[in-house]
Amino acid sequence: MKIVDKVNECIAKGQTVFSFEFFPPRTEEGVENLFDRLDRMAAYGPVFCDITWGAGGSTADVTLDIAKRMQNVVCVETMMHLTCTNMPLEKLDSALAE
Phi-psi region of 41 (alpha: psi -120 to 50; beta: other; left: phi over 0): alpha
Which of these is catalytic: 9, 21, 32, 98?
21
Q: 50 near 63, Cβ under 8 Å?
A: no
- Give the number of domains in the chain: 1
- 29 belongs to the catalytic site: no
pLDDT digits (tens, 9 = 90+) for 9-32: 999 999 999 999 988 888 999 999
Residue 24 CA, chain-centre distance (Å), reads 10
| Lowest-confidence segment of 2-6, 16-20, 26-30, 90-94 by average pLDDT | 90-94
Question: What local confidence, expressed as pLDDT, does residue 74 receive?
Answer: 94
| Lowest-confidence segment of 2-16, 35-49, 71-85 by average pLDDT | 71-85
Instruction: Identify the band that residue 57 occupies on the pLDDT scale cut at 50, 70 and 90.
Output: low
Range of the domain at 76: 3-97
The Cα 44–Cα 49 span in angstroms is 12
Percent of the chain with pLDDT over 70: 96
pTM value is 0.80
> 3-class DSSP state for residue 52?
strand
Q: For residue 85, is pLDDT > 80?
A: no
Q: Residues 77-85: what's their mean pLDDT?
A: 83
Nearest to 81 by CA among 97, 68, 63: 63
